[in-house]
Structure 1
Amino acid sequence: MNLQEALSLLKQEGYKYTQKREDILTFFTKEDGYRTAGDLLTFMSEKYDGLSFDTIYRNLHLFRELNILESTDLNGEKHFRLACGHDEHHHHFICQTCGKTKAINTCPMNFIQQDFPGYTIENHKFEIYGQCPSCH
């Protein structure tokens, strides 16, 4: 997903365009990987004096709800990134040092599902954590 797609989706879903929202989305289009609300607040504070964590979190969760952002928990803290835009089902390797991601194109559920006869699996999430070559 790119900035224009994200802004269009926001408008399409009936949400107001603001410069702050565009700046938040711009931050994520420039970052390669998962980032925290604190990272975003540091970036936004340069332009918006007195910006609160409430405003940051409210927008992050809205964008997550609209599938503009993806989220994961790393070291007990929620991290966000721009939705990668893959049309096909996939998972990610996530670097625990820098937050960069790499798509995993094989789904482990293809192998695990046989262990759940009679169960209805409605959703799943699979992530691998480690260090990317740059951080290793």
Structure 2
Amino acid sequence: MDINDAMKRLKEHGYKATGKRREILEFFQQADGYRTAKDLIQKLEKRYKGISFDTIYRNLHLYTKIGILEATELNGEKQFRFTCTHHHHHHFICKDCGKTKEIDVCPMGEVKQALANYEIEDHKFEIYGLCPLCKPA
């Protein structure tokens, strides 16, 4: 997904595609991995004096709800990144810098066998640790 796809999705769901919303998406497109609302507000404060956390969280929630951003919990804080839609995969997430690496392995075959009498609606598989740059030598 790119910014134009995301802006189109906003309109399709009945939301305005504003310049500020586009800037939020540009921030996540440029990010290499997950980023926090605090990271975003620090970037936007330079241009939009007095921008509130309410505005930021409202937009982040909206983007997550309509599938533009995906969210995870990292170090006790909710973090966001552009949704990957090109193929099914999972992520390794660096606990220090938030960078991600795609993992093409999916454990759902084994999980479905273990939960044969259950109806699975969705899943998310993430591995946390330190990337090569953040790992102590």
Q: TM-score range by the shorter chain?
A: over 0.9
Distance in 1 of aligned mates of 2:6 and 2:121: 26
Aligned match of 1:123: 122
Q: Comparing 39-48 with 94-103, which one deviates more in the overlay? A: 94-103
What is the aligned-residue RMSD (CA, Å)? 1.1
Give 1:88-99 correspondences, 5 Å limit.
88-99=87-98
| Residues 35-58 of structure 1 deviation map (CA, whole Å, 9 limit, x = unaligned) | 000000000001000000000000
TM-score (norm. length: structure 1): 0.94
Name the CA distance, whole Å, in 1 between partners of 2:7 and 2:66.
Answer: 11
Q: Does 1:107 align with 2:113?
A: no
Residue identity in the other structure for 2:60 = L
Structure 1 runs of 4+ aligned residues shifted over 4 Å read none
In the other structure, the counterpart of 1:28 is 28
**Which string of whole-angstrom CA distances, capped at 9 and with x for unpartnered residues, describes residues 38-82 of structure 1?**
000000001000000000000000000111000000111100001
Letter in 2 for 1:21: R
Q: Residue 54 of structure 1 aligns to a residue in which SS?
A: helix
Q: How many percent identity over aligned positions?
A: 58
1:132 to partner: Cα distance: 1.2
Task: Please give the alpha-carbon distance, in whole angstroms, between the structure 2 residues aligned to 1:20 and 1:85.
Answer: 24
Which 5+ residue runs of structure 2 have no aligned equivalent? Answer: none
**Per-residue Cα deviation, 1:65-115 (whole angstroms, up to 9, x for no partner):** 1110000001111000011222x3221111111111111111111122211
Hey, what does 1:18 align to over in structure 2? 18
Corresponding residue pairs, total? 135
Please report how far the alpha carbon of residue 17 of structure 1 lies from its aligned counterpart in structure 2 after TM superposition.
Answer: 1.5
Amino acid at match of 1:27: F
Letter of the structure 2 residue corresponding to residue 20 of structure 1: K
